[in-house]
């Protein structure tokens, strides 16, 4: 079965840039999606089709996808960005989520 691997945690200082990777076999041949989930809340779609932002998502969130790795970048990280982030792709009639990354804003 297809697997997507993310680092368990990423720490970033306020105002700095955080990068979260998502690795999977030939992930660049598929579309990658990203969700943000804050404690006690539902997941929110923040990036779709590798790099597009839904309406209402701040410009500081951006995405890319090439080779075996998709990357979510948070520029000018704010305290409100502290959350769990999950990547997602679709493979063989299955929606696959990454292992998740906890972003801590120190």
Partner 1 sequence: EVQLVESGGGLVQPGGSLRLSCAASGFTFSSYWMSWVRLRQAPGKGLEWVANIKQDGSEKYYVDSVEGRITISRDNAKNSLFLQMNSLSAEDTAVYYCARTKQDGYSSRYFDYWGQGALVTVSS
Pick the piece of the chain touching partner 1 (CB under 8 A) from 15-23, 41-49, 56-64, 71-79. 41-49
What CA–CA distance (Å, rounded) separates 61 from 51? 9
Q: Measured between alpha carbons, how far is 3 from 89 in angstroms, rounded to an integer?
A: 9
Task: Using the minimum distance from each CB to partner 1, give the nearer residue, 30 or 81.
Answer: 30
Site for partner 1 in 76-105 (CB under 8 A): 84, 86, 88-90, 93-100
59 CA to centre of own chain? 14
Interface pick for partner 1 out of 7, 21, 44, 60 (rule CB under 8 A)? 44
Question: Among residues 106, 82, 94, 95, which one has the least CA distance to residue 20?
Answer: 82
Smallest gap from Cβ 103 to partner 1, in A, equals: 14
């Amino acid at each position: 079965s297809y697997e997507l691997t993310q680092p368990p945690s990423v720490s970033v200082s306020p105002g700095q840039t955080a990068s979260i990777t998502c690795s999977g076999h030939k992930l660049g041949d598929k579309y990658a999606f990203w969700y943000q989930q804050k404690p006690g809340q539902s997941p929110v779609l923040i990036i779709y089709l590798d790099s597009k932002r839904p309406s209402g998502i701040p410009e500081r969130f951006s995405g890319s996808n090439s080779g075996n790795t998709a990357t979510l970048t948070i520029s000018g990280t704010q305290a409100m960005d502290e959350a769990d982030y999950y990547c997602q792709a679709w493979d063989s009639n299955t929606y696959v989520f990454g292992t998740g990354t906890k972003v801590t804003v120190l």
